Amino acid sequence: MAVKQLFFHEDENFWYETLRSLGHIAYGGADLGEVLFTAGRITSGDYDSWHEEWSATAERLRQVAAEAQRGGHTVTARDSYLRASNYYRTAEFFLHGDPDDPRIRATYDKSVEAYHRFVDLSGRGIERVEIPYENTTLPGYFYPSPLPGRQPLIVMHNGFDGTAEELTFCGGLAAQERGYHVLCFDGPGQPGTRHHQGLLFRPDWENVVGPVIDHALGRQEVDPDKISLHGMSLGGELCIRAAAFEPRLKAVIANDGVYDLGAFVMSFLDGDRAEIERALTAESAPETDAALAAAMRSGPGARWAFEHGQFVMGGATPRECAARMLDYHLRDGIAERVSCAVLVCEAADDLFFQGQPEQVHNALTAPDRTWLRFTEEEGADAHCHLGGQRYAFGRMLDWLDDRTPVNR
């Protein structure tokens, strides 16, 4: 990626996740010295080292926060809990190759607990919510608008690996301070449901977003004619898929646009796509199994993608997981069904989905569709613009404000 790699020169995934935390400085999710110190103590490519060092930083901050709270220093406690939560989230990130690893649940729970303490001290009126969904609930957070009366709502969800708590830094606070209500949630396969309920991703995301909107419309402060949806990373495919079948949406923001998760799978395999797909879905395909195993041994990106993919999408083997990934796409007329306003964002140096935002934009037929490309010059050319969050979310929310303006 174009942003200079300060650490982990042989491991783009480790560097991207470090940049992710650096980007969260913009909305209080990290501090520069803490990130640099922690990254400097990690052994490149070593998942145990990654977990150990980020956990140590998170634990130190949690103790600082608790001491500050006991002393009545609310702002220090609030800010420290928020950063601790993000660092615990980061610590847990690469552990999913062994789903029985006890560190996964323990570290995730610490992240959420620290975040809940931030919520209690934030002074922003943030509410923890449980959204009815099938025979269970989806965890989330409602950020009320600071403005009186009915106001527009932006529903937000993350993607393949992010949490509802992380959305604080990825648009939640930015939208609230502009006068929006914000409803962030974890859907099936995302951390809040995967860790405690065992729910896996599903491609028909409209059946997830629909109940979330039902829940939102039960709040009198929400303007029912100004509901929008924002999805990050793989969420950039999921949100447009939902918009294709959910008529109550006024606008949707794909950050970034993803047209076909199967194309990401193909980047790790050689050969004709149709033949690869047949092998992925076959009862037995030892050559493809061997090719995926080799890709995972030789490349950190493949290793993480399929280890995490099995954890959140299922599949007894990487090949079975890859077969499930084929269902996540906007082909076959799905993109063309979207009728609301659409913003498709692109990162000029995207590590995962290079070129796909343009594919999404070209497939759309909605009259109001915008393609917004973020560049190195803007400091926002990494996937989901995590190096330039204040700038990027400003551009996105200005676009939205032209379509669902707050009621003043």
> Beta 181-185 vs 341-347: how paired, if at all?
unpaired
pLDDT for res 8: 87
> What residues of the chain score a pLDDT lower than 50?
1-2
User: Hey, what are 352's tokens?
Assistant: 């995962």
Q: Where are the alpha helices (DSSP H) in 122-260?
A: 172-176, 191-197, 206-216, 235-245
Taking alpha carbons only, the member of 401, 374, 402, 404 closest to residue 390 is 374
pTM value is: 0.95
Q: In the chain, what are the domain boundaries?
A: 12-121, 131-260+328-401, 263-325
Q: Tell me how far CA of residue 248 lies from CA of 76, 244, 254, 325, 339, in angstroms.
A: 41, 11, 17, 27, 11
pLDDT for res 296: 95
pLDDT for res 1: 43
Taking alpha carbons only, the member of 223, 188, 224 closest to residue 206 is 188
Q: Identical fold at 12-121 and 131-260+328-401?
A: no
Q: Catalytic residue numbers?
A: 233
pLDDT for res 4: 67
Domain 131-260+328-401, what fold? Rossmann fold (3.40.50)
Long-range contacts (CB closer than 8 Å, 24 or more residues apart) made by 217-224? 217/248, 219/142, 219/181, 220/150, 221/144, 221/145, 221/149, 221/150, 221/151, 221/181, 222/150, 222/151, 222/152, 222/153, 222/181, 223/150, 223/151, 223/152, 223/153, 223/404, 223/407, 224/248
pLDDT in tens, 129-151: 999 999 999 999 999 999 999 99
Instruction: Count other C-beta atoms under 10 Å from residue 90's C-beta.
Output: 28
pLDDT for res 327: 97
User: Hey, what are 217's tokens?
Assistant: 């419309």
pLDDT in tens, 313-372: 999 999 999 999 999 999 999 999 999 999 999 999 988 899 999 999 999 999 999 999
**CATH superfamily of the domain spanning 12-121:** acylaminoacyl peptidase (1.20.1440.110)
